[in-house]
């Protein structure tokens, strides 16, 4: 992801979350902190959570004092009513099944102050991925070739993939699985977790989400009933 792409994400999130510099933000999961670092450079206080130690260590190398990091499960967040806004960007949401998704959303909702906003991004909404699903695809990045082979499990609403990487004659294969939810189901899960959906977009440009849009950005707000 280029710095320009990260800046565009943060430009969008700043408006969608209605968060001004000085606000306390939660980034879960944060990966190597590309969004958190950009927010911190703009004057926000950001907490990043990720289960993987390596990307957290990478983020810490260049992180300003406005960032704090926690190695842990994104479904097990220890804070209560602490953050002014939160986000889950980078398509990490689709790695958990429905039970895990509701657990994650509930954990996020607890960390937010009443009325605070949360934005989640996914390219795995059923209305996005299924209409254009192709069984096999080749990609190239520099001297690396990658073959993506998928199998959709309709019973589990799960997309199972096998990625094959080829570089200088060396072949490496890695499996992955992604859960697909309809937009309506995603909205119901948010409500169940105490988050009221307020907006949904099909891109950073802010147009409404429609069938076939490559990404869904769902913005919700912590319910006053929690």
So where are the chain's domains? Answer: 3-126+181-222, 131-179
What does DSSP assign to residue 3? Answer: H
Average pLDDT, the chain: 95
What does DSSP assign to residue 59? Answer: H
Q: What is the pTM of this model?
A: 0.92
What class has domain 131-179?
Answer: mainly beta
Cβ(114)–Cβ(222) below 8 Å: yes
d(CA 152, CA 222): 33
The domain defined by 3-126+181-222 folds into Rossmann fold (3.40.50)
Cβ(31)–Cβ(50) below 8 Å: yes
Q: What is the mean pLDDT of residues 158-182?
A: 96
Give 140's pLDDT tier (boundaries 50, 70, 90): very high
Same fold, 3-126+181-222 and 131-179: no
pLDDT in tens, 92-114: 898 899 999 999 999 999 999 99
- 144-153: strand order across its sheet: 136-141, 144-153, 158-167, 170-179
Picking from 43-47, 62-66, 104-108, 125-129, which range would have the lowest pLDDT averaged per residue? 62-66
**DSSP track, 160-189:** EEEEEEEETTEEEEEEEEEE-B-HHHHHHH
pLDDT number for residue 92: 87
pLDDT number for residue 1: 84
pLDDT of 214 higher than 90: yes
- Residues of the chain with pLDDT > 90, as a percent, come to 92
Whether the upstream peptide bond of residue 29 has omega within 30° of 0, thus cis, is yes
pLDDT of 226 higher than 70: no
């Amino acid at each position: 992801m280029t710095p320009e792409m990260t800046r565009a994400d943060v430009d969008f999130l700043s408006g969608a979350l209605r968060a001004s510099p000085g606000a306390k933000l939660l980034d879960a999961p944060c990966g190597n902190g590309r969004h958190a670092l950009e927010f911190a450079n703009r004057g926000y206080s950001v907490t990043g959570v990720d289960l993987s130690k390596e990307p957290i260590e990478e983020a810490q190398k260049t992180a300003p004092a406005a960032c704090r990091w926690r190695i842990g499960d994104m479904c097990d967040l220890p804070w209560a009513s602490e953050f002014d806004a939160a986000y889950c960007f980078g398509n990490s949401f689709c790695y958990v099944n429905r039970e895990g998704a509701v657990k994650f959303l509930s954990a996020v909702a607890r960390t937010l102050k009443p009325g605070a906003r949360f934005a989640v991004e996914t390219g795995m909404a059923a209305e996005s991925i299924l209409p254009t699903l192709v069984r096999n695809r080749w990609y190239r990045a520099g001297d690396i070739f990658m073959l993506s082979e998928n199998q959709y499990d309709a019973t589990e609403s799960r997309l199972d993939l096998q990625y094959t990487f080829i570089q200088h004659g060396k072949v490496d294969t890695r499996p992955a699985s992604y859960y697909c939810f309809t937009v309506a189901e995603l909205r119901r899960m948010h409500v169940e977790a105490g988050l009221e959906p307020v907006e949904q977009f099909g891109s950073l440009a802010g147009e409404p989400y429609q069938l076939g849009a490559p990404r869904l950005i769902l913005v919700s707000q912590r319910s006053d009933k929690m």
